[in-house]
Amino acid sequence: MELPLENLTKGKLWTFVEMTTGPFHLRDIYSHFDAQSERSKAHIRVTLSRFCAEGILKTLDGKDGIYRRVDSALKTFDWESVDETLSYDLKLPFGLHTLAVTEPSDVVMVAGEKNAGKTAFMMNCVKENMYDRPVVFFNSETSPRRVKSRMYGIAPELRGRKAPFFVFWERENFGDKIQGLKAEGRRLGVAELERRDKFIVIDYVLLHENPYQVSRHIDDILAAIEDGVAIIALQKPKRRTQSQQPNKNINDDYGYGGAYSAFRTSLYITIFPNRLKIVHCKEPRNPRIHPENKQWTFDMDDTGTVFANIKEYKGEPI
C-alpha cells in the first residue's frame, strides 16, 4: 500500500540509501516505498536531488536514475610497521617462483588456450605446495576420474593415502566460496580450512557474459583470500595472426577480457601450445633481471599432466 506523502520523509528516504551497498535505481526506491503516484515519485526524485546537492549521494557515471551513496570514509594504510621480509614462498612449475616474488594477498593469473596445459599447470601448483600450507583446489570442469588419474600421474605417492589438499566443485562466485571455507572448516572440524594463509587454486573462471567484467571476479577473489594467495586459470582465445585481422593490433598474450584480466595481478602467465610466457611480473626476485616476456618451450608426457623437456626460449619472439 502506498505511503501517504507526509510519511515519505527525508529521514526515511536516507535510511533506505544507507542500507544500499552499491548502485541502486529509482525503481528500487519506488518499489521499496510502493510509490505509485506521480506526486510520490516526484517527491522522491526531488529529495534524492537534494541529497546529491549536499554531496552525500551521486548519480552513477552521470546516468539518469541510477545513484550510489558517497563513501567518504578513509581507511588508514599502515606501511611503516610491515615486515619488509614478508613473502609467501609460493612454489610454481617451471621454477617461476625463483623469478617472481609473491606475498600474502597476491593474485596470479594463468591464461591458456584450450588443451594447451592450463589444468596440468594448476594441478602441478597443487602438488608443489600441498605439504607447505593448506591448499584448496576449485575444479570447474574436470571429472573426478580425470582429477584422480592426473593427480596420481603428477604425484604417484598419493596412491593409497589421504590427499593433503582439498577439492571442491565450483563454477562461479569464487569470492563467496572462499569466504565460506572457514565455516566449512568449523562444520567439518578441519582447522586448515580456517587458516588465513590458504593457497587457492581456481581452474577456471568461466565468463558467461561480458568478458571485460573479469576484473570484478578478480576483485571479489582478492577481497576474500586474506593472507593467502590465489592462482586463477582463465580461458584464452586461439592465437590470431595479423593477416586474419589486418586492421587490428594483435596482442594474444591475454585471456578473455584482454588487459582487464591482468587487473591487480602480481604475476600473469600465458600458456600456448608447447610454450609458456611471463606476460607481467609486479616484483622480480632479482631487481636486475626482469622476467617479463621470458618464454619457455615444453613437451607434455602421454598423460597430459607432466611438463617435460622444458627449455628457456631465447630466439625471436614467437
Tens digit of pLDDT for each residue in 242-271?
454 544 444 578 988 888 888 889 999 999
CA distance 295 to 235: 19
Determine the pLDDT at residue 168.
94
Determine the pLDDT at residue 227.
92
Determine the pLDDT at residue 248.
45
Determine the pLDDT at residue 185.
94
CA distance 215 to 212: 7
Determine the pLDDT at residue 169.
92
Cell of 160: 593409497
Determine the pLDDT at residue 249.
42
CA distance 167 to 126: 10
Q: Which ranges of the chain would DSSP assign to H, the alpha helix?
A: 10-19, 26-32, 38-53, 118-129, 144-154, 174-179, 181-188, 214-224
Q: Domains (ranges, CATH) in the chain? A: 5-69 (1.10.10.10), 93-313 (3.40.50.300)
Q: Which residues of the chain have pLDDT under 50?
A: 242, 244, 246-250
Residue 190's contacts (CB-CB under 8 Å, 6 or more residues apart) are 166, 184
Q: Which ranges of 107-143 would DSSP assign to H, the alpha helix?
A: 118-129
